[in-house]
Each structure stands twice: as structure tokens, then as C-alpha cells.
Amino acid sequence: MNWLLNLLFAPRCLLCRKPLGPVEAGRSQLCPDCVSTWRTKYLADGGKPVAGCTQTDACLLYRDEVRGLMIRMKCSRRLPQARQWLGKLVGARILLHAEQWKPDLVTYVPTALNHWWRRGFNLSEEIARIAAKTAGLPFEKTLRRAWFSRYQSRIDSAEGRKKNVRSAYKPRPEVDLTGRRVVLVDDIQATGATAEACVRLLRELGAAEVYFVCAAKTPGNRTKMTKKREKRRVQS
Ligand SMILES: [Zn+2]
């Protein structure tokens, strides 16, 4: 019986899901193979441009095992080790730019109530909170989502996404960012429409500079779902 429980609940590598030995489980949460390969396979070389942003950066490429990991994280509140890993990666990126950016605070792209209701938490908020701690910066809530809004990933065109997000984000009451240098954090960057809408609001709140860091960016400009839809259209 014990062997079965061990098999079912044994800690697994965050990326390839192989069971981990006690040393890896207590340390990096990645198996030795992934420890030596994740940088070459998934490390992103900078973020996609976002209008209104002084500079952007991305930690990972949202594909294969990273994509699998983030989908598992979005579906479940568990995987605190994965949140720590991603949060610390984002925090390290902020630190890397700290001398140039001179950031005053870290904030995040908020989620809508219907999304929160389904998931019970906001992944970008959790990543931003850990990133802020890692970078030694204050974490502040600055924006909120409209109560009910459409999922960005269910909208096909970049133009449609832009329209949807423009009305979907609002500033939180009594937030004043006058003269402050803000780092906006998101979990995944697809087209950049979400980040753009948030950056615009942060600027309206007075932010002197806005920088954007995401945990992972999609390799192309289209989301996986958009590609699937396009494929379906071609087939039908
Ligand atoms: Zn692995």
C-alpha cells in the first residue's frame, strides 16, 4: 500500500513530471535533466513590445512542458512550488534590470471575478507577490477587472482582444502613482493587448515609467487556441 501512496503522491518534476528523489524534491523541484536543460529549451530572450511600456521582459517561452505546467497551475490552487519557482524567476528578472529601471513597486494584471470564481486565485497576483519579495520591492494592488468579462484567450483577433480589454480594466479607488516607476507583472503574455490596456491605466494614474515582466510569453503572436480555430476554419 505504501508503495502505491508513494507513487501517487511522490513529488514530481515541475516540467517533465518524472518522480523526484528526496534531494531534488527538497531543492529545485526540477529533475536533474530539466535542471540542466530548461534554460536552453525555455529561456526567453526578452519580452514582446507593449505600447506605453518603457521596456518589457519575459522569463520563459510558453510552450511544451512550460505550457503544461502553467495550465496545471491555472486549474488548481496546488503547485505552490511552481508558483515559487516562477515568482522567483520574475523577481530575478526585475533585479537584473533594477539598476536601470529603478522600480518603486510591483503590481499585477488582475483577474475578473468570473475567472477568480472558477480558479479561486489569480496566478499573476501570486507570481507578482513572490517576485516583489524576491526583488525587495513593495507589492501593491493598483488595478481591478470589471466583474464579468470575456476570457481573452477565447477571442480570435488581436483587434477583438484590444476592444475587450479596453473596457475590462479599471483603476482601484484612491490609487495615485504620480512620479512612480512601476513594474507590471503577468503570468502569460500572448498578443500584449492585456498588458497594453493595463499600462495605459497605470500611466493615467500618474506612473512615470511602466515596465512589464511576464513569467512566460507565447513564441508567436497568436495563441494556441487561435491557431486551433484557424485550423478548424481551414478544414471546414
Ligand atoms: Zn524534469
* pLDDT at position 236: 45
Lowest mean pLDDT among 1-10, 57-66, 93-102, 200-209: 1-10
The CA distance from 68 to 197, in Å, is 27
Q: From ligand 1's centre to the CA of 31, what distance in Å?
A: 4
Band of pLDDT at residue 200, cut at 50, 70 and 90 = very high
pLDDT digits (tens, 9 = 90+) for 29-62: 889 999 999 999 999 988 999 999 999 999 999 9
Q: Which residue has the cell 497568436?
A: 222
117 falls within a domain? yes
9 falls within a domain? no
Q: From ligand 1's centre to the CA of 192, what distance in Å?
A: 30
| Residue 223 pLDDT > 50 | no
Domain encompassing residue 206: 45-235
Domain CATH code at residue 96: 3.40.50.2020
Q: From ligand 1's centre to the CA of 115, what distance in Å?
A: 30
- Looking at residue 115, its amino acid is H
Band of pLDDT at residue 10, cut at 50, 70 and 90 = confident
Q: From ligand 1's centre to the CA of 187, what distance in Å?
A: 21
| Residue 25 pLDDT > 70 | no
* pLDDT at position 186: 95
pLDDT digits (tens, 9 = 90+) for 159-192: 776 677 777 888 999 899 999 999 999 999 987 8
Count of domains observed in the chain = 1
14 falls within a domain? no
Q: From ligand 1's centre to the CA of 44, what distance in Å?
A: 19
28 falls within a domain? no
Q: From ligand 1's centre to the CA of 189, what distance in Å?
A: 24
Band of pLDDT at residue 80, cut at 50, 70 and 90 = confident
Name the nearest CA neighbour of 152 among 197, 215, 120: 197
13 falls within a domain? no
- Looking at residue 112, its amino acid is A
The CA distance from 30 to 26, in Å, is 10
* pLDDT at position 73: 85
Segment of 31-40, 74-83, 97-106 carrying the highest mean pLDDT:
97-106
- How large a percentage of the chain has pLDDT more than 90? 52
* pLDDT at position 81: 84
Rg over CA atoms, the chain? 18
17 falls within a domain? no
34 falls within a domain? no
Question: Which of the two residues, 2 and 156, has the higher pLDDT score?
Answer: 156
CB neighbour class for 173 (10 Å; exposed up to 12, middle 13-18, buried from 19) = exposed
Q: From ligand 1's centre to the CA of 228, what distance in Å?
A: 28
| Residue 120 pLDDT > 50 | yes
Q: From ligand 1's centre to the CA of 4, what distance in Å?
A: 21
192 falls within a domain? yes
What residues sit around ligand 1, an ion, with C-beta below 5 angstroms? 13, 15-16, 31, 34
Q: From ligand 1's centre to the CA of 42, what distance in Å?
A: 13
Q: From ligand 1's centre to the CA of 37, what distance in Å?
A: 9
Provide the mean pLDDT of the chain: 83
